[in-house]
Structure formats: structure tokens, C-alpha cells
């Protein structure tokens, strides 16, 4: 257990209805631990006003002050305690270590409470962009029903909660800093990553969005660290300012605002909300995630549940609408008017839903 008042120790908690009894998949745990470490490295570099491009093993100079080691693990909700180097080992760099953690909490709290004031916490736009990219990776994806919380074991800072909503705020803040407005041509593309140019000019990636249709996307140093971690051949989602041809088709993305490997991990849904009705499930329902023919497809074949849309958020909303339809057309219907397959779906729905509740 952590000693009370240990200011060098951080506590990362992953909790939510999707992961009962702390049963977090290792794939998600690995990503979040790496994201936390990267965020603290960027915080240290920001405090030190690192002006050079953060390329290659740039973080090596901050290992002494910001590298975390595993200190304790607890499971009910999954709680990871990680500790920075002891003060005696840091010498004159102790203050930098403390300032990095202070910045991490101050910026995270500002994002949740007043993102318009973030430039008061991190004044330099380039440093702010690098830090925010790292924070985005620590937040859950849209549609993932869990939260990540971070606290300092000395209670030097209030606990901060990072959710899918936080991720959306981070993205909007980054877009605002880049000068992205509704009047400009911001687009989102999804496809297979075919090329990555790092340390050679120009800095760009190429995304195959359809057979024979490859779109080049250009990025700046703020995204370099994130892009260097992408894998050729993976599915990526890229948002940025585009140049269109005379037929309004995308020729290229001139400035990437965000890029990430599209997670194809199944969602663990525990509640579906459509209009004024909320359906809470007794156990998480695994929902398969695919991307096909320009659409995100979410499905669970056992109850014939599907959701489609060009955007993730819209596909999840469609999934909830279709769950509501299944409930009204199957679960509430008399057995005498249902065929055998429909009766099976009805029984599965009745077994999984605690009770529909009206929301206000």
C-alpha cells in the first residue's frame, strides 16, 4: 500500500460498468499505462520549455525526473499505483519532477472545468498541442463505458476524471488552437494506413480510403510523436483541413488536426439510451466493431442488434435506437405473434435488461 502523503506516487484507476470487479482487458491497460507515462514525459518537457522537436528517444533526458515504476496494484476497480524517483536520487531536478506532476493535474482539471483557460496553464501553443495529444491518448474512446481517474497520493491535487467526453473536449481544444473554424474545410477520413514519412520531408502519411483511392495527409511536429507510434496496415481515423477537387472530393489533407488508430476492440455496453428511455443491462453486452464501405458497423448477432453510420457517434446512437426498437417489437410483444427466432430474441432481451427507465 502507498504511504500516506507520498507526493511522488500517482494512482491511476480504471473503472466503469464495462469492467466489473476490475476485469480490465490487458490491451486497454497497456495502452493507458503507456499513455500516462508519455503524458508525464511531455509535462516535464513543457515545464522545462523544451523547444526542440520531440523526436526519436527525446524523452530519455527526462527519465530521471518523470519515469514511473510500478508500486502497487489493487483490484475491485483496477487501481495502479506508480511512483517517480526518490528525492535523494533527483538532487537539483526534484523541483522539475514536482512541477511536471503539478502541471499534469492543473491542465487536466482545466480541460474538464474551463478549457478556454488552458492557454493560461500552458502558454506556448506548440507545447500545449504536444501535451494535449498525450492527454487525449489517456482518455477512453467515444462509446467506451469506463473512466480513467488520476490522483496524487499526497492529496496535493483533487482527483481528475478523464472520460470519453474529456477526449472530445481535448479534440475541440486542439482544433481551436489550430485555427479550425466551421468555415474551413474540416473533414474526417477512415482507411488503411499505407505510408508514414518521419524524419524525411515532407512530413505526411497516406491513407487508402477505397480501392485505388489514396489520400496524402500532412502533419506538423505536434503530431510527430503520435504518428511515430502508428502501424502501417492498421485502420486509422484522420481529421484535418482538406483541399477538395472540382467535384468536391478530397484531394489531400493539408493539416492534420487529429489521427489515431481506429480501435476495433469490442465495446462492452451496459446501458442503451434512446430518446427518453434508458435500458440498463445486468451484464455487459459485447458489441462487435467493424469499418466497411465507409461506414462504422456495430453489432451483436445474438439479439440481431445493428448500428450503422459514417461517424462513430452516429453509429452508436443508431445502435441505441435499434435496441429500443427491438425492445418494443420483441420484448413487449405477445409470444403468440412471434415466430421461434423472435421468441428467442425476446427471452434474451428480457434476461439481459434490468428494467427500462424513463430519463428526464
Q: Is 34 helix (H, G, I), strand (E, B) or coil?
A: helix
- Residue-level pLDDT at 184: 56
Structural domains for the chain: 9-177 (no CATH), 186-261 (2.40.50.140), 267-358 (no CATH)
pLDDT at 255: 87
* pTM of structure: 0.67
Residue 205 scores a pLDDT above 80: yes
pLDDT at residue 284 tops 50 = yes
Sign of the dihedral through C-alpha 73, 79, 82, 87:
negative
Q: What is the pLDDT of residues 13-34, one digit of tens each?
A: 998 877 776 778 888 888 899 8
Tell me if residue 28 falls in helix, strand or coil. helix
Residue 75, Cα to own-chain centre: how many angstroms?
Answer: 23
As a whole number of angstroms, the distance between CA 306 and CA 157 comes to 43
Report helix angle 125-138 to 26-47, nearest 10: 160
The cell numbers describing 223, all together, are 503530431
Say which range, 128-142, 144-158, 175-189, has the weakest mean pLDDT.
175-189
Residue-wise pLDDT tens digits, 123-134? 988 888 888 888
321-352 pLDDT, tens per residue? 999 999 999 999 999 999 999 999 999 999 99
Tell me the average pLDDT across 176-194: 73
**pLDDT tens for each residue of 252-276:** 999 887 788 887 888 888 889 998 8
What percentage of the chain exceeds 90 in pLDDT?
35
Cβ proximity of 222 and 255 under 8 Å: no
CB atoms within 10 A of CB 200: 7
Q: Cα-flanking dihedrals φ and ψ of residue 172, to 5°? A: -65, -35
Amino acid at each position: 500500500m502507498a504511504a500516506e502523503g507520498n507526493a511522488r506516487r500517482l494512482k491511476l484507476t480504471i473503472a466503469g460498468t464495462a469492467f466489473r470487479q476490475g476485469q480490465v482487458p490487458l490491451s486497454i491497460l497497456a495502452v493507458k499505462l503507456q499513455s500516462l507515462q508519455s503524458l508525464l514525459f511531455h509535462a516535464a518537457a513543457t515545464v522545462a520549455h523544451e523547444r526542440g522537436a520531440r523526436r526519436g528517444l527525446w524523452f530519455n533526458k527526462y527519465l530521471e525526473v518523470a519515469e514511473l515504476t510500478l508500486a502497487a496494484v489493487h483490484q475491485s476497480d483496477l487501481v495502479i499505483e506508480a511512483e517517480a524517483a526518490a528525492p535523494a536520487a533527483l538532487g537539483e531536478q526534484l523541483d522539475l519532477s514536482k512541477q511536471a506532476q503539478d502541471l499534469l493535474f492543473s491542465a487536466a482539471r482545466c480541460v474538464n472545468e474551463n478549457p478556454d483557460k488552458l492557454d493560461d496553464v500552458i502558454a506556448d501553443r506548440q507545447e500545449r498541442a504536444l501535451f494535449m495529444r498525450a492527454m487525449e491518448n489517456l482518455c477512453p474512446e467515444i462509446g467506451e463505458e469506463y473512466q480513467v481517474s488520476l490522483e496524487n497520493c499526497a492529496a496535493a491535487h483533487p482527483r481528475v476524471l478523464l472520460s470519453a467526453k474529456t477526449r472530445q473536449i481535448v479534440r475541440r481544444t486542439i482544433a481551436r488552437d489550430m485555427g479550425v473554424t466551421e468555415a474551413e474545410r474540416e473533414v474526417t477520413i477512415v482507411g488503411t494506413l499505407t505510408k508514414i514519412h518521419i524524419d524525411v520531408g515532407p512530413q505526411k502519411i497516406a491513407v487508402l480510403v477505397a480501392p485505388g483511392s489514396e489520400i496524402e495527409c500532412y502533419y506538423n511536429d505536434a503530431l510527430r510523436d503520435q504518428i511515430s507510434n502508428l502501424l502501417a496496415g492498421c485502420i486509422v481515423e484522420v481529421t484535418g483541413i482538406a483541399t477538395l477537387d472540382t467535384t468536391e472530393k478530397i484531394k489531400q489533407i493539408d493539416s492534420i488536426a487529429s489521427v489515431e488508430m481506429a480501435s476495433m476492440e469490442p465495446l462492452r455496453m451496459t446501458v442503451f439510451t434512446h430518446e427518453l428511455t434508458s435500458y440498463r443491462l445486468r451484464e455487459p453486452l459485447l458489441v462487435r466493431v467493424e469499418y466497411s464501405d465507409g461506414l462504422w458497423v456495430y453489432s451483436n448477432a445474438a439479439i440481431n442488434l445493428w448500428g450503422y453510420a459514417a461517424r462513430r457517434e452516429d453509429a452508436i446512437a443508431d445502435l441505441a435506437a435499434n435496441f429500443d426498437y427491438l425492445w418494443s417489437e420483441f420484448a413487449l410483444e405477445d409470444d403468440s405473434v412471434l415466430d421461434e427466432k423472435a421468441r428467442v430474441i425476446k427471452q434474451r432481451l428480457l434476461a439481459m435488461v434490468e428494467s427500462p427507465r424513463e430519463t428526464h
